[in-house]
Structure 1
Amino acid sequence: MQTAIYSNTYRLNFTQCYANGRLKYSELSNLLQLTASDHAEALGFGYQEMAANSQSWVLSRVRIEIDRLPRFLEEITVKTWVQDFLGNRSVRNFEVYRNEKKIIGVSSFWAVFNTKARKSENLATKIDPAIIRPEALSTREPLKRVEAEETYNEQHSYVPKLSDLDIVNHVNNVKYTDWCLDSLPADWVLSHPLRTIDINYLKELKLGEPVEIHQRLDDTALHFAIKRGDQTVFLMEAGI
């Protein structure tokens, strides 16, 4: 019997946490990604099944609402389910619990990607409609389109390295958040917890493709854009 709602429990280790003991935002994204992968494997459309058809899931949009970031050595449970599916796209939701209390809600939008043609296409594997839960929301506000700012205050250069790539041979989605937050003063990041994070992934990045990381901080939010030449490949807005 297929499980509509899937969960994994994790005990946070020191490699996953910042110097203040809180879970890194990129490691939060990684735990979500791992839980989604395990659920997809259990449902029959995980990495191995999709790779056989030259397909992969790629993340397009995500919204994260954080009431509290868990700490080093705390045990958390990540729950996930498919809220929507239509051929070549899917909305997958997550909730993170500490001691049975929800502390983080996440909604994410994924596309089916042909790894040879490098474009979106319909999923080759059939999905049981019984596992789709359209009524089960996880965030107070829906996924949104992040708008680019007219001006940014600072700019930093970066060239993707081997350690940034994943098994699909492009920059893994968790890396972009690290690049952006690494461009800020460490003390600021450690002392200003993010309440919400909205991200749009617009273009894939490959090894050695130079990018510019643009940032702007105002009274209520952080704004980031990553550009490859004239193309914007990533946008992030984080509420503080």
Structure 2
Amino acid sequence: MTRTLFITGASSGIGAATARAAVARGWSVGLMARSADKLDALATELGAAALALPGDATDPAAQEEAVARTVENFGALHAAFANAGRGLERPGTEAGDPEDWRGMVDLNVMGVLFTARAALPHLRRTKGHLVLTGSAAGRTHIKGSIYSATKWFVHGYGGNMSEEMRDWGGRCTVISPGMVDTPFFDSPKPDKIRPEDVADAVLYALEQNPRAELREIHIMPTG
């Protein structure tokens, strides 16, 4: 039976790499992101196994609709990857922009909650898997970092969801990468982790024996 994975932040970086890796392993994928052009191009590349779902992950109704369309198209949902996230234009508390903070918190915190809320009723039916993109920044203290604090939330929430989902046979994994060479950064980081490395970790977690739950995979560059 083909399994289905819903991904937010799917148009580039970790999300796109995970979509490609999942389809290569026989999964179907529902792809959500704001960039409709990039999303359509990726779905065309991946063929019938992919469904483009343009939308804003900070909009709970949009996430509900995207998950529902994924299930309608592929028949069931076996995993959801809350991957969409962003940083700040101006880091720090005194120098930062409160509206910029709000936008980041809406995506990095509320967006994760909206993915979980939309996916959980469907995952319960399949004893499915929730995957969250955390960060090495969510495992340590960084001077004044508000971004890091949002990732601390993801790590804490992931552990809490593991405890909840185990009641009905579900699993939750936090993927915790260090610096990844993605469009998240303004300049290339060729000596750092590649999005494909993170995608491999996501699929590794998803394809474990159902009796085993990898609650966190922490990936750091060797350089």
Q: TM-score range by the shorter chain?
A: 0.3 to 0.5
Q: Please, what TM-score do these two structures have when normalized by structure 1?
A: 0.31
Q: Given the two structures, how large is their TM-score scaled by the length of structure 2? A: 0.32
Q: Which has the higher strand share?
A: 1
- The structure where helix makes up a greater share of residues is 2
- Please say which structure displays the higher CA radius of gyration: 1
